[in-house]
A and B are shown apart, each in its own frame.
Chain A
Amino acid sequence: MKVHDHAIVREVLDGNKDAYGTLVARHSQSVFRVAFRITGDEADADEVVQEAFLRGYQRLQSFELRAGFGTWIYRIAVNCALNMKNRRKVEAKYKVGEENDPALRQVQVADTAAGPERTLLSREIEQMQTAAMESLTAIERTAFVLRHMEDRSTTEIATALEIAPDAAKQAVFRAVQKLRRSLAPLRVNL
């Protein structure tokens, strides 16, 4: 029978640090997925996963048992990913070197991730979407990813981003408006 997350948390707090490995194993896939969607970069997403679980461990005493560990660590990861994205945006401003162009890196990632069944057209669409997503601010992008791709409510988004619900809502609106403008040329293709 599967041991409940809460029982494992207690065990870790009781001095068994390796029990935490079970929590990492259970939740790393979903944490990686959201980290990748927010950062848009495979290596950054791996780093976010490590950072999130490390912070989770260090803050474990503040974890309250009425929440699920999965939800809790997910929120931490969203925050780490948002910070990472913010840092990357700042870096990109100061560097125009090709290897540091996030859009370009992302396209390369998308290419290697694409299966053979993907058509040229769908790759083109994906690249345009990637570029459109890159045009958003880190907070707009994160809010949009959570709303649109992760199906999270405005309240959940606000909690994860530590902002007011109205600010979360506005971030989603702005993201949708910008994306629609950027992706308008695609409409003729569809």
Chain B
Amino acid sequence: MKHWNEEDLIEFYYGESKSSAAIGEHLRGCEECSERYTALSSDLFAIQPPATPFRDADYGAETWEKIRGSVTAYPTARKSRFGWPRLQPWFGFAMAAACLLIIAVSFFAGRRWEHHSVSMDTATAKNGADQGRQRVVLVVLGEHLDRSERLLVELKHAQPSREAPLRDEARDLLSANRLYREDVRQAGEPALTAALDHLERVLTEVANEPAGLSQARLDELQKEMNTDGLLFEVRVLRSRVQGDLENKQNTTATVKGVSI
């Protein structure tokens, strides 16, 4: 007789087995499997989720309050009553977002601050909260670079295609990239601005490719836009963000350690 193994029984327990009828039938007739299944299900049943700490009805509002300052309104689709062109709200959007990105960029550029670690010793609760938010900003920027890196890697290995699998991702990245580039420029980070600018040109090309990328187009991108060089730049930036994030993490961990 063929017995069922632990993996089969685990799938069966969670109601995901494709052979559930056969397993059920087998368990009724086979003492060995039936014992193993009983042991498994009692072990699993004993694992209950830990009590989730209580969050009251205001939790959502408090959360929104914490992140509200870090987001800017999407540009409205309608013209304002003064008839400003659509560029206007977008520009305001970028300006407001600059404050947020300046925080991130000052971390980045702010290697020079790393010896001024006074804040580590005199960290207050407010500091902790600020650092938490700054960490989130670095995470978001890091993620943007991650995604861009993945796209460039895909582009590097892309086969000529009549479809445009990278186009949607490029479009998505493009809108975020414009915002970041503008913020970074205003924050006075020329190296980073140049890299994001380079990235934007490549993304624009890929995003506007109507019917996939031909081999000729791929070669052109590779040569004219130096996508390999860009990939390298993005990786360097990514590791800088990661480094800052880790520093941040250590500081946050210290602050947390004290407060527990």
Residue interface bits A105-121, CB-to-B below 8 A is 1, else 0? 10011101111000000
Task: Indicate if the CB atoms of A28 and B70 lie closer than 8 Å.
Answer: no
Q: List A residues 112-134 near B (Cβ within 8 Å).
A: 112-115, 125-126, 129-130
Task: Indicate if the CB atoms of A115 and B51 lie closer than 8 Å.
Answer: yes
Task: Indicate if the CB atoms of B46 and A186 lie closer than 8 Å.
Answer: yes
Q: If the complex has contacts A147-B14, A154-B16, are A29 and B59 also in contact, measured as CB distance less than 8 A?
A: yes
Is B6 among interface residues, defined by CB-CB distance under 8 A? yes
| Interface residue tally for chain A (C-beta within 8 Å) | 73
B242 CB to closest chain A CB (Å) equals 10
Q: List the B side residues contacting A58 at CB < 8 Å.
A: 71, 140, 176
Q: If the complex has contacts A17-B74, A190-B46, are A36 and B52 also in contact, measured as CB distance less than 8 A?
A: yes
Closest to A25 in B: B60
Is A69 among interface residues, defined by CB-CB distance under 8 A? no
Residue interface bits A81-104, CB-to-B below 8 A is 1, else 0? 001000100010001010110000
Q: List the B side residues contacting A113 at CB < 8 Å.
A: 50-53
Q: If the complex has contacts A17-B74, A57-B71, are A51 and B64 also in contact, measured as CB distance less than 8 A?
A: no
Is B220 among interface residues, defined by CB-CB distance under 8 A? no
Closest to B179 in A: A58
Is A65 among interface residues, defined by CB-CB distance under 8 A? no
Q: List the B side residues contacting A27 at CB < 8 Å.
A: 60
Is B154 among interface residues, defined by CB-CB distance under 8 A? no
Is B61 among interface residues, defined by CB-CB distance under 8 A? yes
Q: List B residues 126-142 near A (Cβ within 8 Å).
A: 132-133, 135-136, 139-140
Is B76 among interface residues, defined by CB-CB distance under 8 A? yes
Task: Indicate if the CB atoms of A28 and B55 lie closer than 8 Å.
Answer: yes
Closest to B135 in A: A47
Task: Indicate if the CB atoms of A25 and B64 lie closer than 8 Å.
Answer: yes
How many B residues are at the interface, by size bracket?
35 or more
Task: Indicate if the CB atoms of B64 and A24 lie closer than 8 Å.
Answer: yes
Q: List B residues 153-204 near A (Cβ within 8 Å).
A: 172, 175-176
Is A153 among interface residues, defined by CB-CB distance under 8 A? yes
Q: List the B side residues contacting A46 at CB < 8 Å.
A: 63
Q: List the B side residues contacting A54 at CB < 8 Å.
A: 67, 70-71, 136, 140
**From A29, A62, A173, contact of B60 by CB (8 A):** A29
Task: Indicate if the CB atoms of A16 and B172 lie closer than 8 Å.
Answer: no
Closest to B13 in A: A176
B6 CB to closest chain A CB (Å) equals 7
**From A62, A173, A190, contact of B7 by CB (8 A):** A173
Q: List the A side residues contacting B49 at CB < 8 Å.
A: 37, 145, 149
Q: List the B side residues contacting A97 at CB < 8 Å.
A: 257
Task: Indicate if the CB atoms of B136 and A87 lie closer than 8 Å.
Answer: no
Closest to B250 in A: A91
Is A5 among interface residues, defined by CB-CB distance under 8 A? no
Task: Indicate if the CB atoms of A49 and B63 lie closer than 8 Å.
Answer: yes
A178 CB to closest chain B CB (Å) equals 12
Closest to A129 in B: B47
Closest 4 CB pairs of A and B: A25-B60, A15-B76, A99-B257, A28-B60
- The 7 sampled A-B contact pairs (Cβ below 8 Å) are A32-B52, A32-B59, A53-B67, A99-B260, A147-B14, A148-B14, A186-B46
